[in-house]
Structure 1
Amino acid sequence: MGQYKAAVIGLGQIGLTYDFDPKRERPSSHSLAYQLNPCFELIAASDKRREQGKALQQIAPKATFYQSMDELLQNHAVDVISICTPPAHHLPAIYSILEKSKPKVIFCEKPLVSSVDEAIALKQLLQAANCLLVPNLSRRWNSGMQRVKTHVISGRYGELQKVHARYTRGIFNTGAHLFDLIHWWAGQIDEVQVVERVKTSADNDSDPSFTFTFRIGKNIGGFAEAFDDEQYYLFEMDLYFSQGKIEIRNSGDDAFYYQVGEHRLFSGFKSLHLERHESRLLKEANLGNAVNHLVKVLDGLEQPICTVDDSIYPLYVAEALLRSYNNNCSGERVGVY
């Protein structure tokens, strides 16, 4: 019997089926993350598709399956509810949960809501409710990404000067992770300018992908390049410092750290030398780390490392990119706020 009772709304990939992929580290879904954690009991889950109930039984045989979220909420009192539905359904689901149930924590997938206007409405709703909402910006739970933040803040490699990124699958989907990591490590993006729109599979979800430039404050410049994921999936970042460089490769599974030293080929010049390589960072299973963190939050031992404001910020960047794309004849940068 778990100390805390959990439920999952939406049994798609992140809610359930990622853990049927043998290449993924387990747990890669909310359902299995709760099932494997001794401090949780996954008591129920819902999805409109009846066949997801059979899949759920393979992961959590004691959990009760519902095709209706409302019916689940009527029959069970839970401490934590995960929202893993498509983004357009997040805000209505949160309204229903707060009206019909009293969870201590709502753990919600990204993007948190579909627009900045919805984000403002959500903040007003949460202010009136005695419920903590924790967004799942999953790379924040990874210790390798946490170490990158520590090195940026400590100045180990000098002053951060440039950020280069390569990504696929949309400014709202993958963009949520990209913009959050930049914000978390370096600060808020102040201005953006779209260079071109790039076709990706996220177009099917009305989630465009752009190659664009950006600025963080006065001293940090950036360039993000979009790629077609039908050719290959890509999520990479390069952080250039005055005395070194950090490279994020393979969707965050590898981190390379470089320091400045004498150039091997040319006298009087310096070059980057590999200091160390951290590999298999995703072996940790980010969702497992996230659920462990939720236990500490529920126990009153830690504050959430990912807040509603953190999850809303990428929406401001995405909407600024849309404005830049729609007004690209001007060739001017567009402010994020």
Structure 2
Amino acid sequence: MAPDLHRVLLVGLGQIGLGYDLRLGDDVVYSHARAFSRHADFALAAGVDGDAGQRAQFTGAYGAPAYATLAEALDAQPAIDVLVIAVPTAGHGAVLREVLARCSPRAVLCEKPLADDIGEARAMAALCAERGVALYVNYIRRSDSAVIDVARRIAGGAIAGPLKGVCWYSKGFRHNGSHFFNLLEYWLGPMRDFTVMATGRLWQDHDPEPDLRVQFEGGSVVFMAAREEAFSHYTIELLAANGRLRYEQGGQQVAWQPAVAGALAGYTVLAPQAEMLESGMRCYQLHVTQQLAAALRGAPHVLCSGAEALATLEHMQPIIEQCTRM
């Protein structure tokens, strides 16, 4: 292992850590393991998982050791540059505290959401700040080329306000809805107000799925909860003053339709042919890793910082509290 490579400790060898692309072709990069193994700036130092089968698959695929506990991993691999937290959300804080009690990696990349409990999320962000460790949260869509393009167009006025839209999400407002809430804050700025239209059900008995209207700094969006058990449907439609943006199939297709003069005098319509923005969602985790490499070089990047992820949860918290009280 070259000494100048960033050594990565991957804690959690489930789907996002290892499994999503383990048996898929080389043209997709969905997992942390494959992404870090592909990037020239990083080396997979070790994995951690309580499941012996997962550990065996990780070592077999990537040639790196895997340990049953964090303590074993840190005993064997004390010099860690990047900590990746890919365990279930309830365990994020415990992993972070155990690692930072033993060492100070340069960066932590944590799965979303940062925590189930807002107090735990605040404590995690504060601990990283206190220790001088850069904290990032894996909101993957922010590193996608199409999303970055849209952000630039909105900031530059090529997609003109006011903006108004609809977002479909599922699998819980905190768990999956936060992907799109964070994305819309990236595009439209922070939330200013909200109105819950229907509280909906609790996903897995704890995460509400409300229908609501959110007023962001740069526009308003209605969030609608789909039923994941029927089919996955993750899409955003934004109407601008000069056209329509469609973010479909979870971001695999992103299209801009400018407004043009219609055939009838005095009418403005959407252009029949949309401009397709280049999306890299087939390698979404590699793009996150590329952004992390830039951050570690001190170069500009678009990763979601711990502070931004915490702000997203702070803005979502009163919505969640209102839905669970009603």
| Fold shared, TM-score > 0.5 on shorter chain | yes
Q: Hey, what does 1:325 align to over in structure 2?
A: 323
Offset at 1:38? 2.2
Q: Hey, what does 1:269 align to over in structure 2?
A: 267
8 Å contact 1:142–1:284 — kept in the other structure?
no
Of residues 278, 295, 298 in structure 2, which corresponds to 1:297?
A: 295
In structure 2, C-alpha distance between the alignment counterparts of 1:212 and 1:25, rounded to whole Å: 37
In structure 2, C-alpha distance between the alignment counterparts of 1:32 and 1:87, rounded to whole Å: 21
8 Å contact 2:254–2:278 — kept in the other structure?
no
SS at 2:231 equivalent: coil
Equivalent AA in structure 2 for residue 74 of structure 1: D
Offset at 1:122? 2.0
8 Å contact 2:208–2:324 — kept in the other structure?
no
Of residues 166, 169, 180 in structure 1, which corresponds to 2:168?
A: 166
Equivalent AA in structure 2 for residue 180 of structure 1: N
Which 5+ residue runs of structure 1 have no aligned equivalent?
329-337
Equivalent AA in structure 1 for residue 215 of structure 2: R
Q: Hey, what does 1:75 align to over in structure 2?
A: 76
Q: Hey, what does 2:46 align to over in structure 1?
A: 44
In structure 1, C-alpha distance between the alignment counterparts of 2:24 and 2:199, rounded to whole Å: 34
RMSD between superposed Cα atoms in Å: 2.1
Of residues 182, 185, 191 in structure 1, which corresponds to 2:184?
A: 182
Residues 185 and 279 from structure 1, CA distance in 2 versus in 1: closer, same or farther, beyond 3 angstroms?
closer
Q: Hey, what does 1:253 align to over in structure 2?
A: 252
Residues 302 and 259 from structure 1, CA distance in 2 versus in 1: closer, same or farther, beyond 3 angstroms?
closer
Work out whether 1:314 is the aligned partner of 2:312: yes
Q: Hey, what does 2:156 align to over in structure 1?
A: 154
Question: Matches of residues 25-174 of structure 1 in structure 2 within 5 Å?
Answer: 26-61=28-63, 63-76=64-77, 77-174=79-176
In structure 2, C-alpha distance between the alignment counterparts of 1:237 and 1:300, rounded to whole Å: 32
Offset at 1:130? 2.4
> Which deviates further from its counterpart, 299-308 or 282-291?
299-308
Q: Hey, what does 1:211 align to over in structure 2?
A: 211
Aligned residues: 323
Offset at 1:277? 3.3
Q: Hey, what does 1:221 align to over in structure 2?
A: 220
Offset at 1:44? 0.6
In structure 1, C-alpha distance between the alignment counterparts of 2:15 and 2:155, rounded to whole Å: 35
Residues 17 and 89 from structure 1, CA distance in 2 versus in 1: closer, same or farther, beyond 3 angstroms?
same
In structure 2, C-alpha distance between the alignment counterparts of 1:276 and 1:78, rounded to whole Å: 46
SS at 1:213 equivalent: strand
Offset at 1:174? 1.5
Q: Hey, what does 2:280 align to over in structure 1?
A: 282
Equivalent AA in structure 2 for residue 261 of structure 1: V
- TM normalised by structure 2 equals 0.92
> Which deviates further from its counterpart, 274-283 or 102-111?
274-283
Q: Hey, what does 1:333 align to over in structure 2?
A: none
> Which deviates further from its counterpart, 35-44 or 248-257?
35-44
Residues 275 and 160 from structure 1, CA distance in 2 versus in 1: closer, same or farther, beyond 3 angstroms?
farther
Which 5+ residue runs of structure 2 have no aligned equivalent?
none
> Which deviates further from its counterpart, 6-15 or 25-34?
25-34
8 Å contact 1:111–1:311 — kept in the other structure?
yes
8 Å contact 2:170–2:234 — kept in the other structure?
yes
- TM normalised by structure 1 equals 0.89
Percent of aligned positions with the same letter in both sequences?
22
Residues 57 and 103 from structure 1, CA distance in 2 versus in 1: closer, same or farther, beyond 3 angstroms?
same
In structure 2, C-alpha distance between the alignment counterparts of 1:126 and 1:54, rounded to whole Å: 31
Residues 195 and 143 from structure 1, CA distance in 2 versus in 1: closer, same or farther, beyond 3 angstroms?
same
Offset at 1:221? 2.4
